[in-house]
Amino acid sequence: MENHKKLSPKLSLLAASLPSTVPFVAPEMTERATGKMFIARLGANESSFGPSPKVEKAIADACSEVFKYGDPDAYDLKQELSKHWNIPAENIIVGEGIDGLMGTLCRLMLDQGDIVVTSNGAYPTFNYQVLGVGGVLEVVPYLNDFEDPDALLSQAKLSGAKMIYIANPDNPMGTHHNAEKIQTMIDSVPDDCLLVLDEAYIELAPNGVASTIDVTNKNVIRLRTFSKAYGLAGARVGYAIGHIDLIKAFDKIRNHFGVNTIGQKAALAALKDQAYVLKIRSAVEHGRNRVEQIALENGLTVIPSSTNFVAIDCGADGDFTRKVLAELVGMGIFVRMASVEPQDRCLRVSIGVPEDIERFALAFPIALERAHAS
Amino acid sequence: MENHKKLSPKLSLLAASLPSTVPFVAPEMTERATGKMFIARLGANESSFGPSPKVEKAIADACSEVFKYGDPDAYDLKQELSKHWNIPAENIIVGEGIDGLMGTLCRLMLDQGDIVVTSNGAYPTFNYQVLGVGGVLEVVPYLNDFEDPDALLSQAKLSGAKMIYIANPDNPMGTHHNAEKIQTMIDSVPDDCLLVLDEAYIELAPNGVASTIDVTNKNVIRLRTFSKAYGLAGARVGYAIGHIDLIKAFDKIRNHFGVNTIGQKAALAALKDQAYVLKIRSAVEHGRNRVEQIALENGLTVIPSSTNFVAIDCGADGDFTRKVLAELVGMGIFVRMASVEPQDRCLRVSIGVPEDIERFALAFPIALERAHAS
């Protein structure tokens, strides 16, 4: 090989074919680009209520252990999750947030060229991870702002898909299917197909949305997180629940020591403080109502939400919403919007603390007016 | 596909071929298996001195921001690293520890069947990541307890390897090559080959070990971490320095939001407190001398170390060292040992706080005696 002068190390064929990109532009990126700090952070469905005071104490206590690598088994956390969900710990894998788990899952399941079915406009990071291993995405449309289980299943059957992705409740629209509908979907997944059921927002959904966990079912894996209701997006702790064979398979390729020590302790404390989750549910419901009121005050409607964000139908097309968004960002309000038609008529506002929502309330009519005028 | 009853979702061909394993058994795993807690944690080259008090303060302060996703650019940290190493920020990528970066790097560089050359007995997690993407490992022996740049290069040239791995200083032996030797190695890497230069312990090495960083060189990527000298193993923050093309390529597949918020703030504070690093260097040097003294007191010698651990030559073969290790573990002393001949005559003792070293000092002669007697 030493004769081939002027060569340089080549990326893998797959990597060479992929773009360098980011699934989401972070608010910090925008702040650096504009030179202006956001005054309200309502775009990433973070919980600006923050974690429970008990979690804050756990983080402070964990400081003395930050010199230690995190437990690769996340044993204590898995034991508590096991108790909490009444399932064996061996059916749970803890990872670096749902994003991290999705990356590992795609590597585990997909050969290059394998087909994955999702909804057009659903979670971009999942798509990024599928493409990152050479998977092929097929999309079906939303149906009236809901992900469409029947269409997803039909497409998967038609194309012999390896995986189907659905989020329940959905992001970015905030809609949900009830447990029965999801159970019917699980029961209808082709035998050789895996349903990736993203339940990032499940703790914030009404009762009756979470379908019963059956860890003997090989056709579904559930993704959960401490990033939303628990207020720990920055801690990077998510988990997956599934059949033991699939959960064990994560040990083939995962970054065993990837979940940080403080995050593990924080998640454990968060899980133990369910009273705080109830408070957050109530605060988020209050916030959703307030955002609906703001929409109504501006002559607009919202999509009923089962999450910690609300999609406001801006009453026109995506170009209009993009203008509204740009105006809001210009006024220091970080929000996001749906990415594809027809959902992109909607602005997505995360439910943060009331002060932030009120900053949005002040800016929104101005943004709408300017967008109309432009 | 719906006709194939009794099928279940299959792993990818590659994943199906891999074992479920863990590159390192964590001390917590052993504690749970034995039902006994370790009284001295000297096995994972963690720094039980912990991070700087300024870092502890940064962690406490960061608690209020843990609800936010971490900055995917790790902008502040990269700016500080850029200043510290006098290289452009665009040549740095921050990731979930060196392990996380290795995983992404292997995915970026290797097609299935590509050859990677490393030393027999070098860092197992790197090997795990190579195998995890279908890479093929070729190993060369250590030369007198040193990794052997010439042998690595020869083997790479012979087999047309895509990557070569070397750690400087080395783990698990603790030896180093000086900057000139490493520079000669860098200059001799085949044009189409990438040298993965693992410098996890560089902050603890004598002056003159770190070779000059040249970010225009496409044939080398350096891996660094906050896990060792900075006492932040549990924070999961590492970084890589390389040519801009390769660094940019990480954005093709990395988990952008994978580096936790507190870890980023902690690493930034750690980097700014170089006075603390000097203290740790001094404390580690003191600890190394103490471990050498302990070895001598037991009629043994050590391999001179440039890291925060010391390999004690137990004076016999690997079977004997395994017995010594088992006795130590039985007495609550967590240490590790080299994995392959002839390095496996050595026990590896991390330099922790003096109390832990003295617990080892008490247990070691007993362990040696029992191992001799058995």
Report pLDDT digits (tens) over A32-90: 999 999 999 999 999 999 999 999 999 999 999 999 999 999 999 999 999 999 999 99
For the residues A294-314, what does the mean pLDDT come to? 98
Position A7 scores a pLDDT of: 86
Position B7 scores a pLDDT of: 86
CA B27-B224-A68 angle, 5° bins:
25
Position A197 scores a pLDDT of: 98
Instruction: Copy the structure tokens of residue A172.
Output: 């970015």
Contact B43/A at CB under 8 A:
no
Residue B306, pLDDT > 80, answer yes
For the residues B270-296, what does the mean pLDDT come to? 98
Residue B4, pLDDT > 80, answer no
Position A3 scores a pLDDT of: 43
CA dihedral sign, ordered B40, B41, B42, B43:
positive
Q: For residue A41, give the H/E element and its range.
A: strand A40-41
CA distance B255 to A180: 33
What's the complex ipTM? 0.96
CA distance A130 to A336: 23
DSSP state of B20: P
Residue A252, pLDDT > 70, answer yes
Please give the residue of chain A at the shortest CA–CA distance from B17. Answer: A252
CA distance A327 to A320: 11
Cβ separation of B258 and A236 shorter than 8 Å?
A: yes
Residues 6+ positions from A279 with CB-CB distance below 8 Å: none
Chain mean pLDDT for chain A: 96
Contact B75/A at CB under 8 A:
yes
Of the candidates B230, B219, B148, the one whose C-alpha atom is nearest the C-alpha of residue B190 is B219
Q: Which of residues 224-253 of A touch B (CB under 8 A)?
A: 227, 231-236, 246, 248-253
Residue A333, pLDDT > 90, answer yes
Domains in chain B, ordered, with CATH?
A: 13-49+275-369 (3.90.1150.10), 53-273 (3.40.640.10)
Q: For residue A346, give the H/E element and its range.
A: strand A346-350
Chain mean pLDDT for chain B: 96
Residue B168, pLDDT > 70, answer yes
Preferred mutation among B252, B276, B308 to probe A, highest tally of A CBs within 10 A: B252
For the residues A147-175, what does the mean pLDDT come to? 98
Question: Cα torsion for B83, B85, B91, B95, to the nearest 10°?
Answer: -90
Residue A5, pLDDT > 60, answer no
pLDDT digits 0-9 by tens, A265-288 = 999 999 999 999 999 999 999 999
Share of chain B above pLDDT 90, in %: 97
Q: How far is CA A311 from CA A131, A136, A147, A343, A345, in A?
A: 27, 29, 14, 9, 9
Residue B288, pLDDT > 90, answer yes
Q: Could you say which of A9, A69, A257 has the minimum Cβ distance to residue B192?
A: A9
Cβ separation of A234 and B10 shorter than 8 Å?
A: no
Residue B1, pLDDT > 50, answer no
Position A238 scores a pLDDT of: 98
CA distance A131 to B152: 34
Cβ separation of B10 and A73 shorter than 8 Å?
A: no
**Collapsing DSSP states into helix, strand and coil, what is residue A192?**
coil
pLDDT digits 0-9 by tens, B227-254 = 999 999 999 999 999 999 999 999 999 9
Place of tokens 């005028």: A373
pLDDT digits 0-9 by tens, A131-142 = 999 999 999 999
CA dihedral sign, ordered B271, B274, B278, B283:
negative
User: Per residue in B230-265, is it b (16+ CB within 10 Å) or e — as a string?
Assistant: bbbbbbbbbbbbbbeebbebbbbbbbbbbbbbbbbb
Residues from chain B contacting residue A133 (CB–CB below 8 Å):
12
Position A56 scores a pLDDT of: 96
Cβ separation of A13 and B109 shorter than 8 Å?
A: no
Position B181 scores a pLDDT of: 97
Predicted confidence band of residue B194 (pLDDT cuts 50, 70, 90): very high
Compute the nearest-CA separation of B52 from chain A (Å): 11
Residue A1, pLDDT > 70, answer no
| Helix extents (H) in chain B | 13-17, 27-34, 53-62, 75-85, 97-109, 124-132, 149-159, 179-188, 244-249, 261-272, 274-297, 318-330, 354-373
pLDDT digits 0-9 by tens, B17-31 = 999 999 999 999 999
CA distance A82 to A323: 46
Q: Which of residues 167-206 of A touch B (CB under 8 A)?
A: 190-194
